[in-house]
Structure 1
């Protein structure tokens, strides 16, 4: 999942694992545990390690929690504080998306200025997300998250202060946006890596589901709406002040958390003797030698290239052309996507992880893209709203499974790097998709572009599942 001001859809397009090139030799597990033994090359010598998702996997059986599954993680104090802080920050990010835009417009009523600020935010995220992944695997994730929240608060506070004294300029907004983007690049890998350290393995699905509900609701709907009303009644600087105050509350909650009892696992020895590029290379090698991961990321990269451009760039024009009140209609359509995404995340996290988790995830993302075909041809608001709702449901459900899959099947000492690769792959193709689809729409009819966007993911998913042998893999590596 990105920072405030970036595409809400883009934020979504974001167990046991044996090491790179390993040969697996499964041995009978101890009672109530699961384990796998691997051997393989690591820095010129052989190693044999036990690969489990967390210490909880090793020490206790995966049992369904009592009550409603999605609420189970709230039994843990550290998770309650963490998700409260993250929820407040997500709400603040949703507000900042509107504050940033309206503040730039207030300073310079020029689309190029807003484009500059948004580009700085996106560039900061994309350029530093791999560095953030390395940091998440090398340093204490709680410390990283606290530092990120502090940086967010300081950056937005600076904007609010400069605005209050009437000296705020566009370049100040650009710098603040870049800082927020860089901070987000460090947050996402650290957050993904810390969850398995504070929760049992069987509750990661529920925890990812909670975020899957909170993010589209607070960042995609409530935050922007509150900011719009607040700034409409007052002025943009008050909006920035409110966002800074929210970040301060989130920071206070994060400081109140206790460090995870489980230390960072390092099967290769002290990290201070390893070069950062070595860590990065190790992450790439792991990705290349792990078929389900490699082919899912390849699928995601082409999915982003084919799908996001039509939705983010062309859909607003389609709505504007086909409906009398285009702006409000477009807002409602995006709201249906957000509600659908929240419902999909809630539904999946309230049940057990599907036995065929890879198949279900790929089916959600691929078949869930088919309603895009409808968006290219319909002029009916109910039909268009229903189509975006279905897209949201399948996207939210798939993302919860994906986040849980990474936390369960990627070794903990590599989870930060792999999570950052996931974000990097998704975000890297987003600007290209935006750049291509506009000129393409001048020579290719809209309905054809949306037809391609709806059908291509289905074909890509079939190729990815076959190439990675996902049906066989998910049976050989059960996560229920």
Structure 2
């Protein structure tokens, strides 16, 4: 039996793209450990790390829509090189200052902000470039391969390697190794064939704001797309905060899992992502892909109830594997659906809107979760958050079914 997930690697340019991204993702896993350790070394308070998180996150969200416009104007490969150069410089300077003993907390704020801006330019460009590199028959496998490698590099191998490097050589050395990993990604992108954006015949390049409005108009013209983004917007408010804040709280305080138990729950999520990626790659694009997306994401949301009802650690481990597996399954199909159905000239902007919706509400969700849990209790909040988020997604699925908007048409220009 052929393992379908590896089929896109037969394409030379995708092999280069994926290899560079994988090495870079391994560096990102190293970076997350080094950053936390470095910040606590500079200021041993949780508030300091929170401020660094805001400095990293807000510029990334603020610049992602602009990144989508640029991704639809230039060779996406060149935009990704720019993003990698920016991130390499930011983390390289961070490493040099750390090794020299000259690093201050305000340096970290500025440099992680530049790193976040680099992230915002890289991912819309990547999403839009993949359909230019592989045929539409390989889009599901390409998305699955990306989701397969992320937990391995960013949740397992990267953090483990980062911990060893920080312990043996210091956080500065870890930052420099991460900066070098972007060099591998840049080299791979330079070896790829140039692929300029092909615009529709007779369509000229407008202003940046005009292109933004044009992208929004396109999203609104596609009911399956606009309704799904709206559904995710509402559902994420109830999902993100509880899963990031309350799940660890429950494992620590109700299940008495300790740090090792929490690590086991997170690791189980990684295993669920790996298995889900393999399964979705083998199956290919479902016959009714949007139904699979909604049902998978609703299952992930309802899993919050499972955390609240768990009486033993092994139950939380099982819930984590199922929840993250469902989340990744939906993400794989959704990414392939965007790449298959959205015209290439709009794909960067649509991907940036998708990224903005999925990450832009993190601060709001995190901000309201604590006070609500303080008033209702962590378990009650988890239960209701799961029920509401899942119900929102299933409700939108019913509305789309009634509107017969569940079968988006492939872009006829897609190879």
Give the TM-score category using the shorter length. over 0.9
Relative to total residues, which structure has the larger helix share, 1 or 2? 2
User: 2:112 aligns to what?
Assistant: 177
**Distance of aligned partners of 1:313 and 1:475 in 2 relative to their CA distance in 1, 3 Å threshold:** closer
| Structure 2 CA distance for partners of 1:254 and 1:476, relative to 1, 3 Å | closer
What is the aligned partner in structure 2 of residue 264 from structure 1? 198
Q: 1:268/1:440 Cα in 2 relative to 1: closer, same or farther (>3 Å)?
A: farther
Q: Deviations for 1:427-454, whole angstroms, at most 9, x for unmatched residues?
A: 1111100000001111112222111222
Structure 2 partner of 1:117:
52
- Structure 1 residue 308 and structure 2 residue 252: aligned? no
For residues 16-40 of structure 1, give each alpha carbon's deviation from its aligned partner in whole angstroms, at most 9, with x where no partner exists.
xxxxxxxxxxxxxxxxxxxxxxxxx
Length-normalised TM-score, structure 2: 0.95
Q: Is the 8 A contact 1:361 1:401 kept in 2?
A: yes
Q: CA RMSD in A?
A: 1.8
Counterparts of 1:416 and 1:475, CA distance in 2: 22
Secondary structure of the 2:294 match is helix
CA distances 1:79-123 after superposition (whole Å, capped 9, x unpaired): 000000011111111111111111111112122221121111101
Give the ranges of 4+ consecutive aligned residues of structure 1 lying more than 4 Å apart after TM superposition.
Answer: none
- TM-superposed CA distance for 1:270, in Å, is 2.7
Aligned 1:380-395 pairs, distance under 5 A: 380-395=312-327
Q: Which residue pairs with 1:214 in the alignment?
A: 149
Give 3-state SS (helix, strand or coil) of 1:443's partner.
helix
- Retained in 2: the 8 A contact 1:212–1:346? no
**What 5-or-longer segments of structure 2 have no aligned partner?**
none
Which of 299, 310, 321 is equivalent to 2:253? 321
Q: 1:167 aligns with which of 102, 112, 136?
A: 102
User: Which residue does the alignment assign to 2:294?
Assistant: 362
Residues 304, 426 of structure 1: 8 Å contact kept:
yes
Shift in Å, 1:156: 1.0
- Report if the CA contact (8 A) 1:355-1:475 is conserved: no
2:306 maps to 374
Question: Whose radius of gyration is greater, 1 or 2?
Answer: 1
Residue 372 of structure 2: aligned partner: 440
CA contact (8 A) 1:306 1:453 kept: yes
Q: How far apart are 1:233 and its partner, in Å?
A: 2.7
Inter-partner Cα distance in structure 1 for 2:249 and 2:186: 40
> Does the 8 Å contact 1:70/1:206 carry over to 2?
yes
Q: Distance in 2 between matches of 1:124 and 1:188?
A: 15
Contact preservation (8 Å) 1:336, 1:389: yes
Q: Aligned pairs, how many?
A: 411
- Aligned-residue offset at 1:263: 4.3
1:470 shift after superposition: 7.4
Change (3 A) 1:82 1:245: same
Equivalent of residue 451 in structure 1, options 383, 397, 402: 383
Query: Paired residue for 2:210?
Result: 278
Give the alignment partner of residue 400 of structure 1, picking from 332, 335, 358. Answer: 332
C-alpha deviation, 1:288, in angstroms? 1.6
- Superposed CA deviations along residues 280-317 of structure 1, whole A, max 9, x for unmatched, are 11111111221111111111112211011111111222
TM-score in terms of structure 1 length = 0.82
Render the CA deviation track for 1:319-378: whole Å, top value 9, x for unaligned: 111344511211111111121122112211222211011111111111232221121132
Change (3 A) 1:86 1:340: same
1:203 maps to 138
1:255-282 C-alpha deviation (Å, 9 max, x unpaired): 222213x6422345231xx111111111
Q: Secondary structure at the match of 1:342?
A: helix
1:298 aligns with 2:233: no
- Do 2:232 and 2:393's aligned partners in 1 also have CA atoms closer than 8 Å? no
Unaligned segments of structure 1, at least 5 residues:
1-65
- Of 353, 361, 383 in structure 2, the residue corresponding to residue 421 of structure 1 is 353
> How many Å apart are 1:411 and its aligned residue?
1.0
Alignment of 1:88 onto 2:23: yes
Contact 1:301–1:425 (Cα < 8 Å) also in 2: yes
Q: Which residue of 1 aligns with 2:74?
A: 139
